[in-house]
Amino acid sequence: MSDIISVKDVSVSYFGKQVLEDVSFEFKSGNLIGILGPNGAGKSTLMKAMLGLIPKDKGTIEINSKPLKVFRKKIAYVPQRSNIDWNFPITVKDTVVIGTYPLLGLFHRPRKEDKEWAMCCLEQVGMVDFADRQIGELSGGQQQRVFLARALAQKADYFFLDEPFVGIDVSSEDVIIGILKKLQSEGKIVFVVHHDLTKVKNYFDELVLINKQLIDAGPVQKVFQSENMTRAYERPVSMLSDLGVEM
């Protein structure tokens, strides 16, 4: 079955300051979508609004014409690395086990099979050998892989990742993009907040380009072109190509 996530006329403001204005777009199952835009464009805000984590001034976010709230347990979220307390007393394995919580519901503890499933997810990101380490002992890329494993453990249909490629090593990057592509081929919908323009074409098939307002949304070939980019980044394209971005 094919799902459709649709964002309609979403506006968000903090203390009277408009952060997002009338953003609308729509995506189907089996897509890996990059949310792109300059610093302060409202990328993370858009993701948080989509997840219902912050109040909206107006607009709706629906999956198959039903409010997103209905699908909460089918949604996996990978936070920005800077939002996590890496000194928290928790091991890699227990972090991934948290991914099984939404399906367990209240009053149920993770059982043996939940823990085995968590290990299976750790295996997929190549982090089994680190299962008993405290999460702060890992490198940035390894930490990101562990949180991706946690998202996998949720058996979700919709994935939301906030800046997963920031400050990570090449091999972790390969592992993560491999898994995201696999999720895409399984018919999931994956949203990724991203700000590095250099690898956009390698990573994504679809893009949402924003700078407070929606600049454009759709296939990479259509969205990722100089006129759009100039509008989004409010500076000449030549400077963008100076930064090593191929258009």
**Counting contacts by CB under 8 A, is residue 166 touching another protein?**
no
Tokens of 140: 């940035």
Tokens of 211: 């700078």
Closest distance of CB 83 from another protein, Å: 7
**Counting contacts by CB under 8 A, is residue 154 touching another protein?**
yes
Query: Residue 30: in which H helix or E strand, if any?
Result: none
Tokens of 205: 């098939």
Output 60 or 230, the one with its CB closest to another protein. 60
Closest distance of CB 38 from another protein, Å: 23
Nearest to 61 by CA among 189, 175, 153, 206: 189
Among 13, 29, 124, 134, binds another protein (CB under 8 A): 134
Output 163 or 216, the one with its CB closest to another protein. 163
Output 179 or 229, the one with its CB closest to another protein. 179
The footprint of another protein on residues 79-98 (CB under 8 A) is 79, 83-85, 88-91, 94-95, 98
| x-or-dash string of contact with another protein, 185-214, rule CB under 8 A | ------------------------------
User: Helices marked H in the chain — which ranges?
Assistant: 43-50, 92-97, 101-104, 112-124, 140-153, 170-185, 200-203, 220-223, 226-233, 237-242
Among 16, 55, 65, 106, binds another protein (CB under 8 A): 106
Q: CB burial class (10 A; 0-12, 13-18, 19+) of residue 52?
A: middle
Beta-strand relationship, 4-14 and 17-28: antiparallel
Query: Residue 99: in which H helix or E strand, if any?
Result: none
Name the residues that contact another protein, by CB under 8 A: 15, 48, 51-53, 69, 72-73, 75, 77, 79, 83-85, 88-91, 94-95, 98, 101-102, 104, 106-107, 109-110, 134, 154, 160
